[in-house]
Structure formats: structure tokens, C-alpha cells
Structure 1
Amino acid sequence: MKPEIRTVAAQRSWIVESQSIELSLTIQGGMMAPVLFCRDTKKPVQPYYVSPWQEEQVQIDEPVLKPLRGDFFCMPFGADNRYQGETHVVHGEPATALWSAADVSHSDGITRFSARMKTTVRPGEVIKRIMLKDAQNAVYTQHELIGYSGKTTLGHHATLSAGTGPGGMLISTSPISFGLARPAVPNHSVDGEYLSLDGSKPFRSLEKVPTIWKDPSFTDLTVFPARPGYCDIAGVVSRHAVPASGGKKPRGNSTLVPAWTTAVFPGGGYLWYSLKDPRLLPVTLFWMENHGRHGAPWNGRNLCIGLEDICGYLAEGLAPSARKNPISAAGVPTVVSLSPRKPTTVNYIQGVTRVPTGFDRVMRANFAPGSVRFTAASGATVDVAVDWDFLQTGTVT
């Protein structure tokens, strides 16, 4: 049946619900926010960012900025998307154009939503599917890419409200191989953005990332908000992004080692997480916006963080990602090759769980059938019900 439509933060949005979650999805751009987790408790959680200009009557030229909020699927991902005669808008049509043919159903404790988009710059069709399971605070997302040819960047652009409560937000990822900040620009500023990270030097730990300064010469990306007045981008490569054999991508029932990102909000008493297949989405991109972008409609007022799982050379776009770059030179793919003979499917999971007092930054994740246990530096643990094998099977039961 057709899902309910409401105007949410100035955007026409489909409403997708389960016992524990109420999710708003914009018709333009397919952007997911607000999302109310734990809606069946006394303390619901809404972790996603919604841009402050939504209720303002302002001229916005960049299509992706008009509905900007929460998580959305990008293809191509990034800024410079002029490639082999194609000119894509920033983050591509799936993040900017209108979705249609929406359908929703609920049976056996599972809500299933779908919508479609036929793209024109590069012809093909994207099917968006969202699944919610009663009594779980997890969002299962699938994008099926049909009829496409050629190389592309792609990924999820999950954007969270910054942790302004006590303790801010504490960020962790599964083990990484290395990381890089955005390539340097003259005077460390561009188009009203001010940058603080040194993109010429790779790093091995999120806790020690080079800056453009002599003092401090390093900064810690595991804590946010930080570096007020700056807008920075950095990416880390998941350790399991390339098979240990160094060979081709595993086939069939090859064992998946999920990669993860977590953001703990001590003041809010909850943890947000994402789970991905690092062989398809090898890079986790940090977009750290702390009042450092002064062009319209930003106007120096935004405080948010993108924790974005992608295949691409940071946020540089399709053209730089298709060329040799510092990430691809390390043997890590920065483009996905699409074929009309076989659809490409991108499965992804995001969710929220309450955490006990004293739960701080996540140090490890242990996966068991139907659950994951996150262990904090303090030794506190939390068990989360989530069907993480969805990343490989594409089904929720």
C-alpha cells in the first residue's frame, strides 16, 4: 500500500513505522531524518542532523543542500563528478532528484518500504528498500542498482547532530589500515570553508591525526565537537577492505567480517552505530562541521558530523576517484564497476541502543548470530539485537 506522506521540516516525506521506530524519508533526495528510535519507551532518541535552513525562504543553488538531513544514498558520491562526458550534481541524482512508486507493507513483525528512481545522466534504475523489525532499533537499507554500466563512486552519507551534552560524542571504528585528510588547498580555505587537517600525511590512528599547525601538530578525531571554526574531511580505510589474499573480491558464501562505526553520546545515554561490508564500502569518511563554513546557506552556524561509509577517494568525486589516487595506490578500490548484466546491491545497517552510565568510547565489537556486543574502554558492555548477516544476505526475517 502507499505510505503516509507528511511535511517534515519543510520537506514532503514518507513515514515508515515499526513498533520501535518512526522514520521520515524525504521524497526529494530520499534523505532519512528525523528518525525516532526507542519510540516505545519513555526516552526516545533522534540522532540525525536536519539543516537549519529548512524553514527559511532562501535561494539554494546546490540541489543536495535543499533537503539536507540525516542519511542518504549517493551515486556518484562526492563533488567533482564530471566524468567521460557525464556531469553529475554533487552526490548524484539519488541524493537530489524525486523518488517515486513508494510502497509499504507490514507482516510477521517486519515493515518493508520501497521506492524507485530512474536516473538520466547515466541511465539506469535504483530501487531503495528500507526494512524495520519490531522490537529492534535498527534500520536495514538496501539500494539495488539496475541496468548501469561503468565506474562510479557511491555510499551512505549518515549525518548526526553533534553531541552538545556532557561528554559530547565519542567516536570509534573497527580496525583501520590508514587514513587521510582532504587534500590541501591554498591558504587552507576554499569557498568560505576553513580547514585544520594536514592532507599530505597519512595517519594510522584516529587519536593522532596531523594538523596544519605546529602546536598542536596532531588532533584527536574520536572526540566531537572539536576544532571550533573549522570544517574538515578525513577518511579511514577499513582493515578488511581488501581480502587477506590480496586477490579478487570473495564470492558466494565467503565469510563476511562486518566493519563498524559507533558514536557514543554520554550525555544522552545512547550509542549510534553503523555496520557495513568493507569489501564494497572500504572507506569511512568523517565530515566534521563545527561552524567552519561561511558561504550561504551555511553562514557559519552548522554543528554536525557525517560518518559516511563509501567507496571513493574521500569526498573528491568520481573523476579523482577513477584516477590513481593515494587510496587506490594502496590497493584499495575507490570506484565500483557496474554492469547491466548483473545488478549491484548495497546493503547497510544503522541503529541506536541505550548504554549504561559510565559507558564511554567503544573499543571492540563481537558478533554473534542475531546480535553484536559493544565493549567500551571502561569495560562496560551493551548487547544489541541486530540481524547483521543482512549485509551479506540482503534479507531480514
Structure 2
Amino acid sequence: MTDRTTLATEGISLEVLSLGGILSNLCIARNGREVRPLHRAAWVDRPETVPEGAPPHLRYLEGDFLCAPFGAPAKGSAAPPHGWTANGQWTLVAEDAAPDGAKTLRFKLGKTVEAASVEKRISVRPGHPFVYQEHSFSRCAGEISLSHHAMVAAPGGMRLSFSPKKFGRTPEAPLDPPEKGTTFLLRYPQQFESLADVELADGTRADLRSYPTAKKHEDFLTLYDEEKTAFGWSAAVAQRDGFVFVGLKDAAVLSQTSLWMSNGGRTYAPWNGVHENVLGIEEGCSGYSAGAGGNLLPVRTALSLDRPGGLTVRYALGAIPLPEGFQEVAAVEISANDLVLQDVGGAREALPFDVRFFDNNKVNQ
């Protein structure tokens, strides 16, 4: 087993795995209710069912982790899928506690990524229903693709919404080759204007804003942010399971949102057809859906590492118990003191949020 370090303050607790830097066991308490929105694969507690040689990010699949590079490693690289940030050993270098009750864990990755050293900071603040994550790449040059890999579990289904997107796309082919026997729902490849109207493999069309829309499928697509978007967000309202999940990002750095729809379509170990109702809401910048042979779309698919002070990637995720009447998040706004969720029905929910969190990313633009 990998070591776990606990991070907790008023209203929020979690663990961080040293192997893969995986965020685990997130629990958020608000108004006398608790929610645990993130997925944990059943085989994490049954390691004997995982094939020998499986990469750590798959063996301990849960919560969220950073992939760098995102997807398959570069040709000739010794890194496993999703890179060393999701599979290497992170060493805890400091535990910081502020007078106001804020707590921070600082880690350093034992491997380099594209010759860059990588540091991780994970912070929580009293009463804030968010986990603040920062990954800093330093002493490096070149470019890299990367993505957070947050996974939401809602057996009762969820309604999805996002900050403005200009279009979406599926990859050139499904996630698995035909010999794997994986079943999929979507047509590959395709480009679409809205998640509300996506073509399926059988030629029909579906509104994918409600997940899941079908059983026994494994699918992947990417939504591309509008260039003018500075602050990006993703939201999932899980009415039956009683929570709202929110992911927050600097869209000038993480300019894409990929959706990994894992709903029982993989029948081989360790998936065994029972990895169901899981949705990866993955904020990143990569070429995974850009087209065969490289970047064929007018979008950025990698981040420059050659920046003054290096590259810092900031991403926050959180959740709250379902507010009365909430059906679908229509807008997320940051004010001078907090963050406000607005429902399509007009209801508003103000949440404590560190409004300065994304300010420092201006140096990355």
C-alpha cells in the first residue's frame, strides 16, 4: 500500500496518496450534512483483482490526480500512461498551518517530467467546500500536455453544465481497440457544437448533458473553451445522491474539459463490466482529441514550460449538499468575497472561496 497523508480543517477532510499524488476520501460537511462526491474504484480495496503490472493510477483509481503528459506517454518515454505525476512517488516536504485554520500540504515529485521538477501544493480553508490544488513545473523548457483527472460518482445520475464552450470533439477512435471487446456509445471521430446534440454510433443523436444516458458503454470527448473565457467552471448536479460538484480553473491555462464516461463498457480486468456511473470531469490542455497526426484544430494542445518562474497550474474542486430546488447550475460567479452558484430556476447559493487563488496565474498568460 502507498502512504496516505491526511489534510483537514473545519468542514472538509481528505487524504493524499504518496504514490501518484492521488486525492482520496474527500468529505465535505455543510449545514449539518456530509457529501462524498468523488469516485473510488472497488478494486482499490481488492488489490488481488488488479492485473500484475497495472500502473499505480489505475491500481489506486479514485478522487483526482494530475496527468502529465495526459494520455499515452511520448514515443520512447519510460513513463507510464498519464505520466509520472499520476504514477510516481511524491515526497511530503512540509505541512503548513495558518493562524486562520487554513492547512497546506507540500510535496515534491521524485521524477522529472520533460526535464522539469514538479511540486504540489494542496490546501483547505475553514468553512470552504473546496480543495485548492497547485502544481508547479520549474527549471525546464519545451511543451507539455496535462490534465486533472477528477472523477465524480453519482449512481442516481447527474445534470452537467459548463462555462462557455465553442465546440466539442471525440477522438479519432474509441478508448480501446476492438479486440478488447469494449462497448461504446458515441461516433468516432466527430465534431459537434453542443453537448446537447451529439451523434451516437448508430446514427441517432442524444443530449449528453444528463449522465448516464445509456448503459454499458465507455466513451470520451473533449469540450473546448471559448478564447475569451478567463475563469472556467464545470458543475454536476446529482439530485438523487444529494450534492452539487464544482470544478474551477483558469481557462487561459486549462483550456479544455474532457468527459470520460465510464459506465460498465469495459469487460476485462479490473473493470469487469461493473465500473459504472463514473464520470471523469477532466480539466486540462492536450491534443488527445485534436485529430490524427497532431493538432488539426485551431486550439492550443500543449502548455509552454519555458516561462519566467516556470509554469504553475491551479485548479480547485469542491461540492456542497444539494440546495433546495437546485436542478442545473446556470452560472458560477466570483465576487469580491465569495463564489456564487446560480441555478437555472434562479436560486443562488453563496459559498466561501479564496477569491485570490487564481490571481497569481496572470504570470502564466
TM-score (norm 2): 0.91
Q: What residue ranges of structure 2 are gaps of 5+ in the alignment?
A: none
CA distance in 1, matches of 2:176, 2:334: 45
Indicate which of 294, 304, 311 corresponds to 2:267.
294
Give 1:66 deviation, angstroms: 1.3
The 1:126–1:376 alpha-carbon spacing in structure 2 relative to 1, beyond 3 Å, is same
Give 1:380 deviation, angstroms: 2.1
- Which residue of structure 2 lines up, in the alignment, with residue 249 of structure 1? none
- Which residue of structure 2 lines up, in the alignment, with residue 194 of structure 1? 183
Indicate which of 64, 83, 87 corresponds to 1:92.
83
Q: What one-letter code is carried by the residue in structure 1 that aligns with 2:258?
A: L
- Which residue of structure 1 lines up, in the alignment, with residue 320 of structure 2? 353
- Which residue of structure 1 lines up, in the alignment, with residue 38 of structure 2? 48
CA distance in 2, matches of 1:117, 1:188: 32
Over the residues paired in the alignment, what is the CA RMSD in angstroms? 2.4
Give 1:69 deviation, angstroms: 0.8
CA distance in 1, matches of 2:361, 2:189: 38
Residue pair 2:287, 2:294 contacting (<8 A) in 1 also: no
| SS of 1:53 mapped into structure 2 | helix
Question: Is it true that 1:137 corresponds to 2:129 in the alignment?
Answer: yes
The 1:287–1:147 alpha-carbon spacing in structure 2 relative to 1, beyond 3 Å, is same
The 1:187–1:291 alpha-carbon spacing in structure 2 relative to 1, beyond 3 Å, is closer
CA distance in 2, matches of 1:12, 1:36: 19
CA distance in 2, matches of 1:263, 1:223: 9
Q: What one-letter code is carried by the residue in structure 2 that aligns with 1:280?
A: V
| SS of 1:232 mapped into structure 2 | strand
Give 1:103 deviation, angstroms: 2.0
- Which residue of structure 2 lines up, in the alignment, with residue 70 of structure 1? 63
- Which residue of structure 2 lines up, in the alignment, with residue 224 of structure 1? 211
- Deviates most, 268-277 or 370-379: 370-379
CA distance in 2, matches of 1:21, 1:134: 8
Q: What one-letter code is carried by the residue in structure 1 that aligns with 2:342?
A: T
CA distance in 2, matches of 1:260, 1:388: 14
Give 1:356 deviation, angstroms: 2.4
Q: Residues 173-252 of structure 1: matches in 2 within 5 Å? A: 173-184=162-173, 189=178, 191-214=180-203, 217-239=204-226, 242-243=227-228
Give 1:73 deviation, angstroms: 0.8
Question: Is it true that 1:267 corresponds to 2:240 in the alignment?
Answer: yes
- Which residue of structure 1 lines up, in the alignment, with residue 110 of structure 2? 118
Give 1:120 deviation, angstroms: 4.5
Q: Residues 333-348 of structure 1: matches in 2 within 5 Å? A: 333-339=300-306, 342-348=309-315
Q: What one-letter code is carried by the residue in structure 2 that aligns with 1:309?
A: E
- Which residue of structure 2 lines up, in the alignment, with residue 30 of structure 1? 21
Q: What residue ranges of structure 1 are gaps of 5+ in the alignment?
A: 1-9, 244-255
Count of matched residue pairs:
357
The 1:121–1:128 alpha-carbon spacing in structure 2 relative to 1, beyond 3 Å, is closer
Q: For residues 40-90 of structure 1, what are the alpha-carbon distances to aligned partners after superposition, in whole Å with 9 as ceiling and x for unaligned? A: 6532111111111112213342312111111001111112x224x434311
Indicate which of 120, 124, 131 corresponds to 1:128.
120
- Which residue of structure 2 lines up, in the alignment, with residue 314 of structure 1? 288
CA distance in 2, matches of 1:301, 1:100: 34
| SS of 1:44 mapped into structure 2 | strand
CA distance in 2, matches of 1:291, 1:278: 31
Question: Is it true that 1:258 corresponds to 2:231 in the alignment?
Answer: yes
Give 1:185 deviation, angstroms: 5.1
Give 1:315 deviation, angstroms: 6.5
| SS of 2:358 mapped into structure 1 | helix
The percent identity for this pair of structures is 27
Question: Is it true that 1:153 corresponds to 2:153 in the alignment?
Answer: no
Give 1:237 deviation, angstroms: 0.5
Question: Is it true that 1:384 corresponds to 2:320 in the alignment?
Answer: no
CA distance in 2, matches of 1:285, 1:230: 16
Q: What one-letter code is carried by the residue in structure 2 that aligns with 1:72?
A: F
CA distance in 2, matches of 1:18, 1:121: 32
Give 1:335 deviation, angstroms: 0.8
CA distance in 1, matches of 2:177, 2:96: 50
Residue pair 1:147, 1:341 contacting (<8 A) in 2 also: no
Give 1:144 deviation, angstroms: 0.6
CA distance in 1, matches of 2:294, 2:239: 41
| SS of 2:33 mapped into structure 1 | coil
The 1:190–1:367 alpha-carbon spacing in structure 2 relative to 1, beyond 3 Å, is farther
| SS of 1:314 mapped into structure 2 | coil
| SS of 2:107 mapped into structure 1 | strand
Give 1:325 deviation, angstroms: 2.6
Q: For residues 158-193 of structure 1, what are the alpha-carbon distances to aligned partners after superposition, in whole Å with 9 as ceiling and x for unaligned? A: 0111x223xx21111111000001223599845232
